Amino acid sequence: MTTRTITDPSNDSSSSPLFTNHSLHLPSSRPSSSPTSKAYKQASTLFLTRRLQEAHSILVSLITTSTSDDNPPSPAPVTTAPTRLRIKIWSLYITLLDEIIKLGALEGKSLFGSSLWRSIQTQARDGSIWDQVVAQGYAGDEAAVDAVVIAGLVSLLLAHAPEPRGCQERLERWLAASGGREEGNVRVRVLELYALHVLPRNGEWEFAEEVVLGSAELDEEQREGLLGTLRELREEERGAEGVEEGKEEKEDEEKVKETRAAEETERTPSRARSTSEVDYGIETPLKPAHNVPKATAPLKPAIKPSPTPNTKLSSPRSTSRKLPAPAGSVHRAAGAVGSMRRYIQLLAQSLSTSPMALLRTLLFVLGLVLTMSRRDVRERIQRMTALSWNKLRGTVGMGVKVSYM
């Protein structure tokens, strides 16, 4: 479709940015020097120089009914203006509203005041600007509204209204009421907005094709161009939806992975703790048992006599009295102290790594104390100790006799 740009016949560059992609030529008329025309030109100049507040004040005076206490209300100047001037006034006013809203809340409220700026924004968001134009500019006759003004209103509502359904209903009402009163590019432009922007915005793609195919205002070339553009827009819409769905699916998969990883992380430390407790519980009690034989190892050199051929009989007797008792007592005491020290060290290590070792140690000590507290057990231990000591002395005596012989 050919790209066109709307222009003002008076070569005024204040054309609305709402129509930057299309051109609509207003009907020509002889220049007018009426007060209404002068006020419009002044407002147009102020708009071009970005003096939006002053331009807004002038345009409001042109579209508002004047009232006074002495005289009856007089109609708004725009209602008595020629068709060309009327269209230019409303087009400039609609464009001005769009620019004011685009200023944003901070700059807009600073320039126009909070109440006025919010009122202007509300007009575009709820569609009340449409009703204002019909009531103040066309005496309530919606069918009489010029197609150029309708195109500007549709563009304004599509840009700022959050719900496009109201725009569709108003435009369909105007299309039904106006019939084929206006012909040419002006009505084609309105049909383009309706088929390419309003209906697709509400998801009515099939009905938009029916409107293009059944429109009597379109020739064959225009109809094919609109259908092609409509299909391209629909493909773009589907592509955008597919990309969005792909992003959502990817986000869902990432959330599932993160959830599983978090659950796995929570389970892993508990398994490690249980494994460490079992390992220490089995290994810790075995270590002191391996250290017991080391304490008795020094006894072996004490019971081995050195053979001396020329030793007298009194020498073996003195040897038999001095070797066993002192050497055995010292080594046993040293071995017991060393075993106790090592056991205490192992116990401290076990307590730092596994609390269960403390419980098992306490139970072992408690059992040992209870066992030693019984009299019959103590007597039995004493008898076994005396018997072992006697056997040891007999063995040493035999060794001395053999070495003497």
Q: What is the distance between the alpha carbons of residues 390 and 105, in angstroms, rounded to a whole number?
A: 110
* Cα 90 to chain centroid, rounded: 45
Q: What is the distance between the alpha carbons of residues 319 and 404, in angstroms, rounded to a whole number?
A: 12
* pLDDT mean over 48-53: 94
CB neighbour class for 42 (10 Å; exposed up to 12, middle 13-18, buried from 19): middle
Q: What is the distance between the alpha carbons of residues 207 and 384, in angstroms, rounded to a whole number?
A: 111
- Residue-level pLDDT at 340: 77
Question: Please, which pLDDT band fits residue 57 given cuts at 50, 70 and 90?
Answer: very high
- Residue-level pLDDT at 270: 52
- Residue-level pLDDT at 22: 36
Question: Please, which pLDDT band fits residue 69 given cuts at 50, 70 and 90?
Answer: low
- Residue-level pLDDT at 73: 75
* pLDDT mean over 172-189: 79
Mean pLDDT (the chain) is 75
User: For residue 36, what are its two tokens?
Assistant: 């209404």
Contact yes or no for 19/149 (Cβ under 8 A): no
Question: Please, which pLDDT band fits residue 82 given cuts at 50, 70 and 90?
Answer: very high
Out of 142-146, 194-198, 247-251, which region has the weakest mean confidence (pLDDT)? 247-251
Backbone phi, psi, residue 66, to 5°: -90, 140
Q: What is the distance between the alpha carbons of residues 206 and 284, in angstroms, rounded to a whole number?
A: 81
* pLDDT mean over 145-166: 92
- Residue-level pLDDT at 294: 44
Contact yes or no for 78/86 (Cβ under 8 A): yes
Q: Which residue has the higher pLDDT, 146 or 383?
A: 146
User: CB-hemisphere CA count at 13 Å for 334?
Assistant: 12
- Residue-level pLDDT at 6: 34
For CA atoms 400, 402, 403, 405, give the dihedral sign. Answer: positive
Model pLDDT for residues 260-279, shown as the tens digit of each residue: 788 778 777 555 454 444 44
Q: Which residue has the higher pLDDT, 335 or 88?
A: 88
- Residue-level pLDDT at 216: 83
- Residue-level pLDDT at 329: 61
Per mean pLDDT, which of 88-92, 245-249, 312-316, 387-391 is the most reliable? 88-92
Whether residue 181 has pLDDT greater than 80: no
Whether residue 164 has pLDDT greater than 60: yes
- Residue-level pLDDT at 61: 93
- Residue-level pLDDT at 67: 72
- Residue-level pLDDT at 356: 72
CB neighbour class for 109 (10 Å; exposed up to 12, middle 13-18, buried from 19): middle
- Residue-level pLDDT at 330: 64
Question: What is the model's pTM?
Answer: 0.54
Helix, strand, coil % over all residues of the chain, rounded to 5: 75, 0, 25
Q: What is the distance between the alpha carbons of residues 405 and 398, in angstroms, rounded to a whole number?
A: 11
* pLDDT mean over 224-241: 88
- Residue-level pLDDT at 278: 46
* pLDDT mean over 226-234: 91
DSSP-based three-state secondary structure for 89: helix
Whether residue 35 has pLDDT greater than 60: yes
* pLDDT mean over 312-332: 48
- Residue-level pLDDT at 246: 64
Q: Which residue has the higher pLDDT, 213 or 68?
A: 213
* pLDDT mean over 299-313: 43
* pLDDT mean over 130-141: 91
Question: Please, which pLDDT band fits residue 31 given cuts at 50, 70 and 90?
Answer: very low
Question: Please, which pLDDT band fits residue 350 given cuts at 50, 70 and 90?
Answer: low
DSSP secondary-structure letter at 195?
A: I
